[in-house]
Amino acid sequence: MFRRLMRPISPSAKREERIFYLFILPWLIGLVLFNVGPVFGMLGLSFTDWRISLDNLQFVGLENYRTLFADPIFRISVGNTLYIVVGRVVFGTSFALLLAILLNQKVPGIPFFRAVYYLPTVTAGVAVALVWIWIFNPRLGILNYTLKQLGIQGPPWIFSKDWVKPSLILMSMFSVGPNMIILLAGLQGVPKELYESAEIDGAGNWAKFRNVTLPMLSPVLFFVIIISVVSSFQNFTEIRVMTEGGPGESSNVMIWYLWENAFIFLQLGVAAAVAWIMFVILMALTGIQFRLGRRWVYYEGEAR
C-alpha cells in the first residue's frame, strides 16, 4: 500500500487528486472539528475531574469510570438502554419487514398506504411526543379506550415502571418508515426468475419466503439492523418530553443519564466517561453484528 502511495503519477492525475481533496475539504474540516476532535477530546476529559470550567483540571485517572460502575442508577440506565435497543431492533425490524411485504403486494392503492405508513416518521418530534402522552393516558387515552372496547383492561403505559419501556418501543414502531422503504426496495430487487424456479420446484409461499426472499434480502436486513441499533441509542427527545427517565429510574437510558450528569449535575468529566462507555458498547454491538452477519448474510456471487 505504501509503495502504491509513493508511485509517481501523471500531472493530470495530480490535478484530479487536488480537486478531490478540495471537494471533500468542508467535510474533512467538519470531521476533525465536530467528530474526531470531540471523540478524542472527550476521552481525555473523561479522565479528569472536570465540573464547570476547563481551567485547573485535575487528572483523576479512572476515577470517573469507577464512580460510574459503582452507581446503581448507571447500571440501571445501561440495562434500560439495552432493553430498548433489543426491543426496537427486534420488533421494529420485523414490523418494518411486515409493512414492506404488504406494500410489495400487487393491489391497488399502494402509493397511498406507503405515504400513510411513512407519515409518523416525518412528524416524529416534540409535537407528536406530546400527543403520545395523551394517547397513553391510562384513563382517558384513546389506546386504553380502544382496548376496553375489545374487552381488554389496558395497562398504565408510560405511567408505570413495568410498562414504560414497552410503551416507548411500541411508539417507536410507528416511525419505522425509512427501514420499511429500504426493505421494500430490497424486496423489489429480488429477481423474479428465482421465484419462478422455486415455484417449478413446487415451493409454497413460506418456502419461497424462507429460501428465496430472506437470503436475497439479508444484506439489506443487515444494513437496517445496524442502523437501527445506532438510532435506538439516540432517543433523547421521547425521554425528555414524555418520561424524564421515570417513573423512578425505569426509563433512565444512557443518553438521559449523560444529559443529566452533564447539564444538570454539571459533572462533565463523568458525562464524558458515560459517552465513552456508550461508544464502546455500540462498537461492541456492531462488531458482534458483523461477526454474526457472516453466518446469515448472503451476498450474491460469493462462494460459500
Partner 1 sequence: MTTVKPKKTVSWRKSVKGRRAIGIAITFALLVPLGIAFVLPFIVMVSTALKPLNQVFAFPPRLIPETLQWQNFPDGWYGYGYVDFTTCTWNSLKITLNNIIGNLVSCTLAAYAFARLKARGKNFFFAIVLATMLLPNEALVVPQYVLFSRFGWLDTHLPLMVPPWFGWPFFIFLLRQFFLTIPEELIDAAKIDGAGHARILMQIFIPLSKPALATLAIFAFIGNWNNFFGPLLYLRTPNVQTLPVCLVQYQGAYGNTEWHLMMAVATIAVIPVLLIFIFGQRYFVEGIATSGVKG
Q: For residues 3-62, which are near partner 1 according to CB under 8 A? A: 4-5, 9, 13, 16-17, 19-21, 23-24, 26-31, 33-35, 37-39, 41-42, 45, 54
Q: Which is nearer to partner 1, 69 or 145 (CB)?
A: 145
Nearest Cα to 215, choosing from 236, 196, 194? Answer: 194
Q: Footprint of partner 1 on residues 155-174 (CB under 8 A)?
A: 174
Q: Residue 213 in contact with residue 205, Cβ under 8 Å?
A: no
**Nine cell digits for residue 148:** 376496553
Residue partners of 90: CB distance under 8 A and separation at least 6 = none
Burial class (CB in 10 A: 0-12, 13-18, 19+), 150: exposed
Nearest Cα to 169, choosing from 91, 98, 224, 100? Answer: 91
Q: Which amino acid is at 18?
A: R
Q: Is position 215 an interface residue for partner 1 (rule: CB under 8 A)? A: no
Q: Is position 195 an interface residue for partner 1 (rule: CB under 8 A)? A: no
Specify the residue for cell string 416518521. Answer: 121
Cα dihedral 200, 202, 207, 209, rounded to 10, equals 30
Beta bridge partners of 267: none
For partner 1, what does the binding mask look like between residues 85 and 124, x meaning CB under 8 A?
Answer: -------------xx--x--x-x-x---xxxxxxxx-xxx
Q: Which is nearer to partner 1, 83 or 159 (CB)?
A: 159
- At residue 135, the 3 state secondary structure works out as helix
Q: Is position 150 an interface residue for partner 1 (rule: CB under 8 A)? A: no
Distance in Å, CB of 118 to partner 1, minimum: 7
**What distance in Å separates the CA atoms of residue 298 and residue 222, rounded to the nearest whole number?**
10
Q: Footprint of partner 1 on residues 257-286 (CB under 8 A)?
A: 258-259, 262-263, 268, 271-272, 275, 278-279, 282, 286
Q: Is position 132 an interface residue for partner 1 (rule: CB under 8 A)? A: yes
**CA distances from residue 282 to 82, 140, 150, 234 in whole angstroms, order as listed:** 10, 39, 41, 11
Distance in Å, CB of 278 to partner 1, minimum: 5
Q: Which amino acid is at 278?
A: M
**Stretch in the footprint of partner 1 (CB under 8 A) among 57-65, 69-77, 192-200, 231-239:** 231-239
Q: Is position 78 an interface residue for partner 1 (rule: CB under 8 A)? A: no
Q: Is position 140 an interface residue for partner 1 (rule: CB under 8 A)? A: yes
Distance in Å, CB of 266 to partner 1, minimum: 11
Residue partners of 304: CB distance under 8 A and separation at least 6 = 298
Distance in Å, CB of 154 to partner 1, minimum: 13
Residue partners of 227: CB distance under 8 A and separation at least 6 = 179
Q: Which of 60, 73, 82, 241 touches partner 1 (CB under 8 A)? A: 241
Q: Which is nearer to partner 1, 31 or 288 (CB)?
A: 31
Q: Which is nearer to partner 1, 155 or 219 (CB)?
A: 219
Q: Is position 290 an interface residue for partner 1 (rule: CB under 8 A)? A: no
